[in-house]
Protein backbone atom coordinates (compact mmCIF):
# COMPACT_ATOMS: atom_id res chain seq x y z
CA UNK A 1 0.00 0.00 0.00
CA UNK A 2 1.35 3.41 -0.90
CA UNK A 3 1.85 6.24 1.56
CA UNK A 4 0.66 8.57 -1.22
CA UNK A 5 -3.01 7.59 -0.83
CA UNK A 6 -5.25 10.28 0.72
CA UNK A 7 -4.45 10.65 4.41
CA UNK A 8 -2.55 7.38 4.64
CA UNK A 9 0.59 7.52 6.75
CA UNK A 10 2.78 5.09 8.66
CA UNK A 11 -0.11 2.96 9.91
CA UNK A 12 -0.97 1.93 6.34
CA UNK A 13 2.24 -0.05 5.99
CA UNK A 14 0.72 -3.00 7.85
CA UNK A 15 -3.01 -2.68 8.51
CA UNK A 16 -3.22 -6.37 9.40
CA UNK A 17 -1.03 -5.77 12.44
CA UNK A 18 -3.35 -3.08 13.87
CA UNK A 19 -6.79 -4.36 12.82
CA UNK A 20 -8.39 -7.68 13.70
CA UNK A 21 -9.60 -9.82 10.75
CA UNK A 22 -13.18 -8.50 10.87
CA UNK A 23 -12.03 -4.87 11.09
CA UNK A 24 -9.60 -5.46 8.23
CA UNK A 25 -12.30 -7.05 6.03
CA UNK A 26 -14.63 -4.07 6.48
CA UNK A 27 -12.25 -1.12 6.77
CA UNK A 28 -9.63 -2.13 4.19
CA UNK A 29 -11.57 -4.48 1.87
CA UNK A 30 -14.96 -2.66 1.90
CA UNK A 31 -16.79 -5.55 3.51
CA UNK A 32 -20.03 -5.26 5.46
CA UNK A 33 -21.00 -6.65 8.84
CA UNK A 34 -24.31 -8.49 9.10
CA UNK A 35 -27.28 -6.28 10.07
CA UNK A 36 -28.35 -6.16 13.74
CA UNK A 37 -25.02 -7.66 14.89
CA UNK A 38 -22.74 -4.64 15.28
CA UNK A 39 -21.86 -3.00 18.57
CA UNK A 40 -23.55 0.34 17.85
CA UNK A 41 -26.58 -0.37 15.66
CA UNK A 42 -29.03 0.39 18.48
CA UNK A 43 -27.01 2.32 21.04
CA UNK A 44 -28.26 5.69 22.26
CA UNK A 45 -25.15 6.55 24.28
CA UNK A 46 -24.00 10.17 23.97
CA UNK A 47 -20.60 10.68 22.44
CA UNK A 48 -18.45 10.98 19.36
CA UNK A 49 -17.90 8.17 16.87
CA UNK A 50 -14.36 7.96 15.49
CA UNK A 51 -12.76 5.89 12.75
CA UNK A 52 -11.63 2.62 14.30
CA UNK A 53 -8.54 2.56 12.08
CA UNK A 54 -7.10 6.04 12.63
CA UNK A 55 -9.13 7.74 15.36
CA UNK A 56 -10.48 10.64 13.28
CA UNK A 57 -13.76 11.93 14.75
CA UNK A 58 -16.50 11.29 12.18
CA UNK A 59 -20.02 11.43 13.66
CA UNK A 60 -21.79 12.64 16.81
CA UNK A 61 -24.51 10.81 18.67
CA UNK A 62 -26.73 13.87 18.19
CA UNK A 63 -26.84 13.09 14.45
CA UNK A 64 -27.56 9.37 14.97
CA UNK A 65 -31.12 8.17 14.40
CA UNK A 66 -33.07 4.91 14.42
CA UNK A 67 -33.58 3.78 10.84
CA UNK A 68 -34.42 0.14 11.66
CA UNK A 69 -31.90 -1.01 9.04
CA UNK A 70 -29.58 -2.92 11.41
CA UNK A 71 -26.58 -0.60 11.15
CA UNK A 72 -25.81 2.71 12.87
CA UNK A 73 -27.46 5.52 10.91
CA UNK A 74 -26.51 9.20 10.95
CA UNK A 75 -28.02 12.11 9.02
CA UNK A 76 -24.71 13.96 8.61
CA UNK A 77 -21.02 13.64 9.45
CA UNK A 78 -19.33 15.77 12.10
CA UNK A 79 -17.86 17.83 9.23
CA UNK A 80 -17.85 17.26 5.47
CA UNK A 81 -14.04 17.18 5.36
CA UNK A 82 -14.04 14.09 7.63
CA UNK A 83 -15.45 11.79 4.95
CA UNK A 84 -15.07 11.28 1.23
CA UNK A 85 -17.43 9.73 -1.28
CA UNK A 86 -16.96 7.19 -4.06
CA UNK A 87 -19.43 5.83 -6.59
CA UNK A 88 -19.99 2.14 -5.91
CA UNK A 89 -21.50 -0.10 -8.58
CA UNK A 90 -21.09 -3.37 -6.68
CA UNK A 91 -24.12 -5.46 -5.74
CA UNK A 92 -25.75 -4.65 -9.10
CA UNK A 93 -26.77 -1.11 -8.16
CA UNK A 94 -25.39 2.41 -7.94
CA UNK A 95 -24.55 3.46 -4.38
CA UNK A 96 -22.34 6.07 -2.73
CA UNK A 97 -19.58 4.63 -0.58
CA UNK A 98 -18.43 6.63 2.47
CA UNK A 99 -14.75 6.51 3.46
CA UNK A 100 -12.70 8.14 6.19
CA UNK A 101 -10.95 11.12 4.59
CA UNK A 102 -7.93 10.72 6.87
CA UNK A 103 -7.02 7.05 6.29
CA UNK A 104 -9.24 6.02 3.34
CA UNK A 105 -10.98 3.27 5.33
CA UNK A 106 -14.39 2.03 4.22
CA UNK A 107 -17.15 3.12 6.59
CA UNK A 108 -20.39 2.25 4.78
CA UNK A 109 -22.73 4.00 2.35
CA UNK A 110 -24.92 7.09 2.24
CA UNK A 111 -28.47 7.02 0.88
CA UNK A 112 -30.68 9.96 -0.07
CA UNK A 113 -34.42 10.47 -0.36
CA UNK A 114 -35.64 7.60 1.78
CA UNK A 115 -38.15 9.76 3.61
CA UNK A 116 -36.71 9.71 7.13
CA UNK A 117 -37.71 12.65 9.30
CA UNK A 118 -34.21 14.11 9.56
CA UNK A 119 -32.83 17.55 8.68
CA UNK A 120 -30.86 16.32 5.66
CA UNK A 121 -32.93 13.45 4.17
CA UNK A 122 -29.68 11.46 4.17
CA UNK A 123 -28.90 8.14 5.86
CA UNK A 124 -25.24 7.42 6.48
CA UNK A 125 -25.44 3.65 6.94
CA UNK A 126 -22.17 2.90 8.74
CA UNK A 127 -20.67 -0.39 9.91
CA UNK A 128 -20.25 -0.54 13.70
CA UNK A 129 -16.89 -2.24 13.21
CA UNK A 130 -15.68 0.88 11.37
CA UNK A 131 -16.37 3.04 14.42
CA UNK A 132 -15.27 3.51 18.01
CA UNK A 133 -17.55 5.44 20.38
CA UNK A 134 -16.04 7.78 22.94
CA UNK A 135 -18.74 8.35 25.53
CA UNK A 136 -19.03 12.01 26.48
CA UNK A 137 -21.63 14.74 26.52
CA UNK A 138 -22.02 16.28 23.07
CA UNK A 139 -22.35 20.04 22.76
* Residue 38, Cβ density class (10 Å: 0-12 exposed, 13-18 middle, ≥19 buried): buried
Residue 54 to residue 12: CA distance in whole angstroms: 10
- Annotated active-site residue 100? The verdict is no
Q: Is 29 exposed, middle or buried (0-12, 13-18, 19+ CB in 10 A)?
A: exposed
Strand partners, 110: 96, 124
Nearest Cα to 59, choosing from 35, 71, 75? 75
The one catalytic residue in 54, 100, 103, 125 is: 125
Q: Which residues are catalytic?
A: 125
Amino acid sequence: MSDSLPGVGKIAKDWKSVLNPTEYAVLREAGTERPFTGEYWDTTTEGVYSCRACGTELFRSTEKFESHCGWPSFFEPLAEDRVRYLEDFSMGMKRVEVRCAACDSHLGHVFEGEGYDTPTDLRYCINSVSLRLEEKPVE
